[in-house]
Amino acid sequence: MDNLSSKLLENAVMEFNRLQGVGKRSALRMVLNILNFSESEKESFIEAFRALKDDIHYCKICNNISDNEICPICANPKRNHAIICVVQDIRDIIAIENTRQFNGIYHVLGGIISPIDGIGPDDLNMYSLFEKAKAGVLEEIILALPTTIEGDTTNYFIYKNIEDCDLKITTIARGISIGDELEYADEVTLGRSLKDRIDFEQITVRS
């Protein structure tokens, strides 16, 4: 696909091609599609991405993607701010919110520990969580990370850093089979496993 007639076209195709799961062929199709938009359609398309770049916030409290400094969940006084559910990213929040079983707030790590992917604790939104735990106003932290080796390791790292704090540390019940990501768990299973959460200490034999 090196022989496109236009350099501008090629640039746009290359940009779409950077997206995960989008090959050059699909990228070209998308770009041609956009070229066929009306002028106002093109404007709104571009505006959406400009706003995404300039105006998006990461919630100061939970690190969730938000339009304001504080996201609607953290800003909601009806939610229980003493219970924090720790998740990998926004997709997990969407999955848990869909269950309507959880009334606390969240903490978004932005990933999980995985040396293979070059991600260590310092690359994650980890230390602000420890500060929240040490402030002494929390009742419970629920660890809702994927039930993979990396998820378990991240759970363990968090647990080791806050085990002395005066609060309950729980993990969602393992109704979800090994390797399943929260995002793909069905709502009933996920809802039930949130209700049946268990003390993290129970599953860590060693302290």
Of the candidate residues 3, 55, 164, 205, the single one contacting other proteins (CB under 8 A): 205
- What CA–CA distances, in Å, run from 136 to 52, 82, 112, 173? 36, 10, 25, 25
15: left (phi over 0), alpha (psi -120 to 50) or beta: alpha
Q: How far apart are the first and last CA of the chain?
A: 57
Partner whose footprint covers residue 149, from Zn ion, other proteins, none (CB < 5 to 8 Å by kind): other proteins
Tell me whether residue 58 or residue 157 sits nearer to other proteins (CB atom). 157
Q: Which is nearer to other proteins, 23 or 120 (CB)?
A: 120
With H, G, I as helix, E, B as strand and everything else as coil, classify residue 148.
coil
- The Cα–Cα gap between 63 and 92 comes to 13
Q: Which does 101 bind (CB under 5 to 8 A by kind): Zn ion, other proteins, none?
A: none
Q: Which one, 64 or 147, has the nearer CB to Zn ion?
A: 64
Residue 28 pairs in a beta bridge with none
Task: For the CB of residue 141, give the shortest distance to Zn ion in the complex, in Å.
Answer: 15
Closer to other proteins by Cβ: residue 16 or 111: 111
Partner touching 17 among other proteins, Zn ion, none, CB below 5 to 8 Å by kind: none
Site residues for other proteins, window 120-179 (CB under 8 A)? 120-121, 149-150, 152-153, 156-157, 160, 178
64 touches Zn ion by CB under 5 A: yes
CA distance 36 to 53: 24
Per the CB < 8 A criterion, the answer to whether 86 and 144 are in contact is yes
Q: Which helix (H) or strand (E) holds 84?
A: strand 80-87
Q: Tell me the window of 4-12, 19-27, 67-75, 80-88 that interacts with Zn ion (CB under 5 A).
A: 67-75
**By C-beta, is 17 or 204 nearer to other proteins?**
204
DSSP type of residue 116: G
| Ramachandran angles phi, psi of 114, nearest 5° | -155, 95
Q: Which of 13, 28, 31, 59 binds Zn ion (CB under 5 A)?
A: 59
113 contacts other proteins (rule: CB under 8 A): yes
Q: Which residues sit at the interface with Zn ion, rule CB under 5 A? A: 59, 61-62, 64, 71, 74
